[in-house]
Structure 1
Amino acid sequence: MNKLFGGLVGATPCTVQLELRPSAGATAAGGSQPTVTVKNKRDEVETMPLFANKDTISGEVKVTPIPGRRTEHQGIRIQLLGEVELASERGHPHQFLSLVRDLAPPGDLTTQASLPFEFGSVEMQYESYRGAQAQVRYLLRVTVARGMGGSVVKDHAFWVRNTQEVPPPGPPIKMEMEVGIEDCLHIEFEYDRGAYHMQDTVLGRIHFLLVRIKLKHMELEIRRRETSGAGAAAKSESETVAKYEIMDGAPVRGECIPIRLSLRPYDLSPSYANVFNKFSVRYFINLVLVDEEDRRYFKQQEITLYRRPEEDPQLRPRAARLPRRMPSLTPSPTPPAASPAAAPAAGANGGAVAAAGAAAQRGGASAAAGEVAAAEGHLMPGGAASVGADAAGAAAAEQRQLEAQPAAVQQQEEKGPPLALPAEPPATGASPLGDGTS
């Protein structure tokens, strides 16, 4: 009897499904709602719909009773919740966002009910986050209220990412590191700036001013530090999220080691100063040197990570630059042979035509080089882009003159040879035949 009663009470009287509509931003882009893959505590990958602050979250809830049965309920509602849960208070989340929509009044369900809902311009100021000390989560909770049979509650999680304002670039970060009382090691390292976005690259250099320790290798780490609580009850935990070896072997005095670390492949989040007065997340660049006796020397520098606004065209990643190469110039076509009638004109103007052709060829080469360099994003020495443009204009003018010359010659042929002027009378005593007779 107890087993039968337990089976009746524990049976699910209905199933709940939730379908989300694309947000306004996704609809404007002409696609479906974007998704994101996130790992949970068991290293399992979950796929969630992705939203941002001020998005409208809407969709439809489908409640289906057991076929052939009637399901009584005391109302159906949906909640949009935002929670912060600390590892030390597991099971007791702190809600910073709670919105409720009533979908149906009390009644009976005999067939599937489709109930639309909408939360307009939801203010979700905190990003979703999963860490060792705390997590921020958003979810849609559908509740089918019932009496003694127990309510049916279904949670649907989604992910939130927000963009931040781009911080000012600021000056480069310069620091020094000295080891030992007698100055056994003195290095100076420099980073290009102190704020980076999620797809950025850390650039810098390390100068060895004094080396009296036999170093084996050097590493660059990115460490994430989570702090929960406040005051004496604050707890901090650090983890290494990125590690990159930048030197292998013993350096010498005066050597300079470049730093280039891409942040794209790593699972990072923006820096959080204070999330709902519960926890904060900070990032550090940790420079680690290891000597031959496996002793470690390190120096940390805090950096700020932010999520750049993707809609800003100035912050989109630039296209990859093509390798530098010599421009391939198309050989100029061979001019057609001149007609015999135009031979005298060509002979008279041969020098000008040859000079104009050479200038046109040089102008064309300069213009082609300028166009190729501009397409590749390179600068030609001495302002070759403007020089190529000027040379192209001069070559075009000279080409028009060359095209006008054959037309002038043809017009001259149609009119006939020029009329000969009457010769002056010969001097007295000279024969007009030139034979010496008078």
Structure 2
Amino acid sequence: MANHRFQGLKWWQKLTRKEWTIAATSLSILILTLSLISHSHKFSNNSITSTNDWIPFTPLSNAQQKSAFCLDGSLPGYHLQRGFGSGSDKWVLHIEGGGWCNSIESCSFRQTTKLGSSRFMEHEVQFFGILSSVPSQNPDFFDWNKAKVRYCDGGSFSGHPDSEFKNGTKLFFRGQLIWEAVMDELLSIGLSNAKQALLSGCSAGGLATLIHCDDFREILPKDANVKCLVDAGLFLNEKDVAGNPTIERFYQDVVNLQGVAKSLKKDCTSRLEPYKCFFPQEFISNIKTPVFLVNPAYDFWQIQNILVPGSSDPQRSWVRCKLNINNCNSKQLEVLQEFRNSLIKTLDGFSQNPEGGMFINSCFIHCQTWITETWHSPGSPKINNKTIAEAVGDWYFKRKAAKHIDCTFPCNPTCYHMDFTRG
């Protein structure tokens, strides 16, 4: 697919190549540094910026009262754009992603970035994709109240202060409290009257969406239409190409460090070690609220961090493949197809849920819902001639069945595949 159709995505390529070089030998730092690129809308498609307003950052007014702080103790917050017309009593929330921190060192580093401190966050952002107010870019949700929840706790809004260290590290593990404080504040300014609501999130924000989906349903009116949309949040518990449980060990460190267990599904933690319940495959079938999954079958983040982390490839034979899927040789493609098979198998049970929806495309990309080009545009990825936005709309409003699983790579010519080798 011609790159000129996706000028707004070039910032992924430029920043990620540098971050990859810096961090390729360490999974925990790689997860952190790669995640730094995935949250700023100011780099989105320059050709449409004039039609999207700049939305100011709103610090949580109840943060002090709720003891809800970012990793460094600064105030968390959100960006809010009011709905209009028929969308005045409808809400879409999008939880920002950005990896996790699994150690004192990585969490301390996050304190110096916008993923751990509001002091480094943009004062204003523009809304694109599912948060756009432009009908042609966001046909079903353009006039809704829209909130982007900023991510600064490093634990998918699930950490607890009980596990904070009192030895001078000055790290605040308050993810659960941030979640509760944000919800309380949004409820007080109109969310409590929502007739329709959609909780969404990308990457680590997608995982947070799954963890808190039923909680979100519980705080809203019983007669409201409430659903959850998870973008690139179905992280697989798979061994890497060297046979090591790299991501499992990483998640174990995150859960233990930040006291995440208290936020996880009790029906899961009662039968498994808590860190295993940080993997969506272990609890997604028990979520009662309708869920839609958007996930690329060749998620570059999972390929680079779960399947082939730097530690699993000492000979660096996978480097070119991880940077551009078109550089993969036949044996590497076989491994990637097996990884896709694991994803499809994981979804077997979920696919039987009549209220669930799916858009599993065969693209080498990560988050797709908050970028106009991949959410809904003339050049967007399609399955069964549907864009992601159209499939999500069909599902949310029950217009028609919305379970779309793509054929295997490289079959889909509408895919945009990230190319991290380009300058």
Do they fold alike, i.e. is TM over 0.5? no
- Structure with max Cα Rg: 1
Q: Which has the higher helix share?
A: 2
Relative contact order, CA 8 A, sep 6+: which one is greater? 2
Q: Which has the higher strand share?
A: 1
Taking structure 1 as the reference length, the TM-score comes to 0.18
